[in-house]
Structures are given as structure tokens and as C-alpha cells.
Structure 1
Amino acid sequence: MNGASKLEAGGGVALYQRIRSDLEGRILSGKWPPGHRVPFEHELMETYSCSRMTVNKVLSALAAAGLVERRRRAGSFVSRPKVQSAVLQIPDLKAEVERRGARYGYQLLARQKRGATRQDKARLDIELRAPVLALRCRHDAAKQPFALEDRLLNLDAVPKALDEDFSMVSPSTWLVEHVPWTEAEHRISACNADRPVADELQIEVGAACLVVERRTWRNGEPITAVRLIHPAALYDLIARFTPAG
């Protein structure tokens, strides 16, 4: 048994933790900035008098935490923060309003089953004339309009949606409770309310609004596309995430 093996046999876990703590400290303190090359495995083995297995375990853990990026034949490098991968939760608007301590209200404004139009095809990424359910709803908080919802449901993916008239239960609540998803995409933007939106949200024409557009898939199959318009003064977005997203 060589010197490194003897050292690890007596305190492998402690040594692993010390190496990882040392490397994390240099990364999180900024001493090793994004893009900095982490010492090669053989350099770390020499520095810490440890085996390749221990070094590989440390680097794998740092990669899993999103702190380093391992490149085949090139080594390991400090990751650049992937802020674009911050994840927004799929909200149940009823629960969200009630968490704010406000009374929730809901109104179905329109419900239509139709073959997908060209616009529907572009929004939902489905075939032209595929069956869709188009829904338009309003969500209230304390009797004040909170969100205007314009949603498309792919009936090939969720045929049971036809059994629900959505007059009492909102599509967002129904989907959260009944339809699992495996992938989601968010797009956040701003707009100024035109006359129809201003009338529905009871705000001035031209008032600032926050727009959240979302699409979800289940194993690659589109489920829904929704556009939520919120009066800017009533809504904000917070996402907490790690460097790995």
C-alpha cells in the first residue's frame, strides 16, 4: 500500500471533504473565476497526496453541483453561471392568490373546441386542424382582476379535457391536478394593454402589463400553451436557482 492509499484508508471521507471544501472555497470566493481551469487530476493527486479515485469523486461532485464543467481531454473549468436556466414553477393561480391572503375569483369567458388554425399550430407546435380546446378566462384577487388567461389544450394529448366545462374549475387548477408534464418553457415579456385587455382587467388603455407565456410537454408531446396577462402592479416573478439551474 503506497503513502496516498495509507492516508486515505485512515481518513478517506475527511480527505474527500477537505479537498472539495478547498476547491469550492476558491470557486465561490471568486479566486477561481468562471472559465478558470481547475488543476489537472494528477496535479490535485500530488497536492493532496491522494488517489485518482478521490480526485475524480470530488470533481464529479463539483460538476453535479454546477460549479465546474468537465471537458473530455481538456480538463475541468469553473462554470459560468447559467442564469438563463432559472426555473419558474408551474403555478396554480387559485393557490397563488390564496397564499397572498386574498379571496380568489374565476370566470370562464370563452370555450371552443376546434381544429387547430395556423396560429394555433405555431403556438402549440401541433399539426394543422388537430383538435384543440381554446379557453379564455379571468382570475381575480379580492374582486380585482389578477390575470387574463388565453389557453390552448392539445386534445390528442389530454382528451379528458373535453369532459370538463371549466365553468367552475380553472384550466390551470385542472391541469395541475390531472395532467403530468415532463418539460416546460417560459417566455416573459411586457405589453401595454389594448382596449379589449384593458376592459377585461379593468385598467387604463396603455397600462403596463406583465405577460407570461408557457408551453408544456409530456415525453415530447405538446400538452398546452397559455398566455397570462397580469396588471404590472399586481404581479411579480421570483425564481431561486443554483448555478446548474
Structure 2
Amino acid sequence: MTPIIKVIIPAFNEQDSIGKVIGDIPKIVDEIIVISNNSTDKTAENAKKAGATVLFENRKGYGYACLKGMDYIAQKEKTPEIVVFLDGDYSDYPEQLTTLVNPILIDNLDFVVGARIKELRESGSMTPQQVFGNWLATFLMKLLFNAKFTDLGPFRAIKYKKLLALKMEDTTYGWTVEMQLKALKQQLTYREVPMKYRNRIGVSKVSGTIKGSILAGVKILGWIFKYSFK
């Protein structure tokens, strides 16, 4: 039986990239769900034109958009076996989705994170603060939880039932680290898969600004220390 795979793409003003992202997603995917997160451009229009289901979430925040996509899936008569999360800025290579989900399909793992390793990363695709933030967060997870993560990459796949069991709640910058921490706490089987990574189309709304970088860093560290005392 072919597993049902759904993709959730949070998108804030990604009109120039969203069509490319959708167009490169492999045909094994059952449905592509784009959440226009208070966009003021043609993100929604271009996503719909490219064949995606488009939802609207006016509360700004990466987590809000992801939760909106999850709520939509929960209402469906037939729920998926796997949910993939992917950014809408074309920095990831959507065609690598097959590689990303293979450890779930073949080895029956619960959770896979696409790791943006240095050897496969385009020059300048991650800012120095992103590189440092990833190193610090994953170092602390290794120290406190014996984790094997090296990245908080947003391109990730998880079994739908396991995703529901995580009871995700973060509404902004801490979504990725919350998922990884809860996966560790619930002893999900996981793996990182090396992924190519390139310069995004447009300017990052988080790492592209000092304020965004600081807020993201505070949120990520907050989640880690919150779980270290649980």
C-alpha cells in the first residue's frame, strides 16, 4: 500500500519562490499544503496556481502556520502516514524529499531531519548567527539529552501519529527545536539525512535581521532549558 504523504509549507511573502518549491516536490506526495502566514504579496495566488492547497493564518509566526496545516490535516477523512515540513523560500531542494522519507518508509524510523551540512551548503546560504545558533542548540541537546542532532533544519519528515503525540505548541521561532526535544523525550527513533542547501530567494524574515536572530535564539534556548529541568 502506498503511504499517504502530505507536505506543510509555511510561507510569508514568498511569491517569487513558492511556485518553484511546489514544482520540485516529487509526485509521491499526496497533497501540498501552503499556509500563507499573513502574506501581503501573491504567495497564496502563486501557490494555488502551482497546484497546492492554500490556507490562511493571519497570526504571524512559523509555529502558527504549521499548526494551521496540522489542524487542516486532522479534519480530513483519511489522514496521512507521513507529514513533511518544508520552507517556502527555495533554500532546500524539494526533490530530495524522497531521500528524506526513505528512513521512515524503509527502516520504519519515526522522525527524520534534513541536516544542512557544510559540505553540501552553498556559500552564504546560512548566516554566521544561524551556524552558531545551530551549533549551540545541538551541542546543548547532546550535553543534556545525549542527542545526535547536528542541525535544526526545517526540512523534516515525521510519522503523523508520532507528530500528534508530540502535542506541538510553539507558535513562533521555537517550532523546530520543540519538535526535536519532544522527539527525544518520547524516545522516537530518528535520523539525520545530509541535505543540499542554497541561498534562499528573497531576504530571510528571521536570520536576515538582528531582531529576528535574537528572538529566535532566545526562544530556542528557552525550550532547551525548559526541557532540561523536566
Measured against the shorter chain, the TM-score band is under 0.3
Question: Normalised by the size of structure 1, how large is the TM-score?
Answer: 0.20
TM-score, length of structure 2 as denominator length: 0.21
Normalized per residue, the structure richer in helix is: 2
Q: Which one has a larger percent strand, Structure 1 or Structure 2?
A: 1
Specify the structure having the higher radius of gyration (Cα).
Answer: 1
| Larger RCO (CA under 8 A, 6+ residues apart) | 2
